[in-house]
Amino acid sequence: MGRRPGGAAVTRRLTAPRLFGAAAIVPPAAVAVALFTQHRLGMQPCPWCVLQRAIFVAIAIVALAGLGLAVLRLRLLQRAAAAVMLVLAGCGAAAALWQHFVAAASDSCRQTLADVVVQGLGLSDLLPQVFAAYASCADAATRLLGVPYEFYSLTLFIGLGAVALRLLQRPA
């Protein structure tokens, strides 16, 4: 009862290299979509948008490291990479929620935590076309296909967190 036919086969196909590979591909794709909407559709990013981009890039880097560790069959280090991915995905989800429920409702011009982190990492100087904020969160609050833009990244962060949890649940 409760087992789907073929469920074990699906689980066997969800190998660590495949999971890490997916987690390495999805974040750059999300950043690419964000850049398209910024540069082609005129949706200017706020500091919290930019912070989420940075978190997506960090997840992709850790996932690539995890993929290499999976190929080398270094299980303990794979678990460490998955744990870092889980923490980063949690941070990304928190940033998306903060953006939606707090920052988008504020007209303040004060420097936010997102500004401090992005500037502290030097990302806006390194790649301003990707990591520079051009709008306040209140000004940048927008919908894409009727859904608040930040909910798309929230959904991806939740999915990446689920991938990380799946990797952590694998036998050691």
Domain parsing of the chain, residue ranges: 17-169
pLDDT > 60? residue 46: yes
Which CATH code is given to the segment(s) 17-169?
Answer: 1.20.1550.10
Instruction: State the pLDDT at residue 7.
Output: 53
The identity of residue 79, as a single letter, is: R
DSSP per-residue string spanning 43-103? -PPPHHHHHHHHHHHHHHHHHHHHHHHHHTT-HHHHHHHHHHHHHHHHHHHHHHHHHHHTG
State percent of the chain over pLDDT 70: 84
Instruction: State the pLDDT at residue 116.
Output: 79
- Closest Cα partner for 150 from 42, 9, 43, 15? 43
The span from the CA of 41 to the CA of 58, in Å, is 25
Coil, strand or helix at 144: strand
- The string of pLDDT tens digits covering residues 113-156 is 777 788 878 877 787 888 777 667 666 667 778 888 889 999 99
CA 134 from chain centre, in angstroms, equals 20
In the chain, count of helices (H) and strands (E)?
9, 2
Instruction: State the pLDDT at residue 110.
Output: 62
- The string of pLDDT tens digits covering residues 70-83 is 998 989 999 999 99
